[in-house]
């Protein structure tokens, strides 16, 4: 029994939706960042899967996924640094308490 590209894409789509739900609904900044990681993982999975089944020779999807990982690592590092800075300033990481743009 073998698997084609479609189950991988479906899996990635569901993982992405789960991550999106978390990113949109969570009130803790750390939780939002974790949900964002779920979303990038879903994207990477999709890239690698399509690369494996459609253009296995060029591996373009694998390279893109590698660069997505780089950007995601930078993003989580910066994001968590921001959370720390925010916590030092406001003593909270709850996003619904952080509303300084409020008019």
Partner 1 sequence: MPEQVALVPFLILAIATLGGGVMVVLSRNVVHAAFWLLEVMMAVAGLFMLLSAGFLALVQVMVYAGAVSVLVLFTVMLTLRRREDAIRSLDLSWSAAGIALAVLVAAAAAIASFTPTLPAAPVVTPGVEAFGRALFTSWALPFEISSVILLVALVGAVWWAGGGEK
Partner 2 sequence: MAWVALIPLLPALAFVVMLPMSRRARNAVRWLPAAATIAALGLSVAAFFAVLAVGGEEPVFRASFTLAELGGAPLAVGLRLDAVSAIMLLVVTIVAACVQIYSLDYMRSEDRRGWYFAVLSLFTAAMLLLVLAGDFLLLYMSWEVMGLCSYLLIGFWHEQDAPRSASIKAFLTTRVGDVGFAIGLAAMWASAKSFDFAVVLHGFEWTVPAATVVALGLLFGAMGKSAQVPLHVWLPDAMAGPTPASALIHAATMVAAGVYLVARALPIFHEAAPWVLQLVMAIGVTTALLGALLAVVQHDIKKVLAYSTISQLGYMFIALGAGSEIAALFHLTTHAFFKSLLFLGAGAIIHATHTQDMREMGGLRRSMPWTTTVFVAGALALSGVFPFSGFWSKDDILMVLYTGGHWYALVAALAVAGLTAFYMTRVCVRVFGGSEKAHAHEAHPAMLVPMALLAAITVVVGFTSPAFAGFLGEAKGWPDLGMAAVGTLAALAGIGAGVWVFGLGKVDTAVLKRRLPRVYAAFVNKFYFDTVYGIVFVGAYAHLSGWLARFDVSLIDGAVNGIASAWSKVSSVAWSADVRLIDGAVNGLAGAVTRAGGRMRTLQAGAVQGYQRLAYGALLVLLGASLLVPFVGTTVALAGGAVALLLMGVLVVRGA
- Window 17-46: residues binding partner 2 (CB under 8 A): 20, 23-27
Structural tokens at position 79: 């994001």
Q: Is 103 in the site for partner 2 (CB under 8 A)?
A: yes
Residues in region 14-53 near partner 1 by CB under 8 A: 14-22, 24-28, 30-31, 33-35, 37-38, 41, 44-45, 48-49, 51-53
What are the CB-based long-range contacts (under 8 Å, 24+) for 53-59? 53/4, 53/5, 53/8, 54/5
Q: Which residue lies nearer to partner 1 by CB, 75 or 101?
A: 75
d(CA 18, CA 29): 17
Stretch that binds partner 2, among 46-54, 66-74, 81-89, 93-101 (CB under 8 A): 93-101
d(CA 74, CA 33): 12
d(CA 61, CA 59): 5
Binding residues for partner 2, rule: CB under 8 A, are: 20, 23-27, 95-96, 98-103
């Amino acid at each position: 029994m073998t698997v084609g590209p479609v189950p991988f894409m479906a899996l990635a789509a569901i993982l992405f939706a789960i991550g999106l739900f978390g990113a949109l609904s969570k009130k803790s900044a750390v939780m939002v960042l974790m949900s964002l990681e779920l979303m990038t993982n879903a994207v990477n999975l999709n890239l690698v899967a399509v690369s494996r089944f459609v253009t296995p020779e060029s591996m373009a999807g694998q390279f893109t996924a590698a660069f997505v990982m780089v950007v995601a690592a930078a993003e989580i590092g910066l994001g968590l640094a921001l959370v720390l800075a925010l916590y030092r300033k406001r003593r909270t990481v709850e996003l619904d308490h952080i509303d300084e743009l409020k008019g």
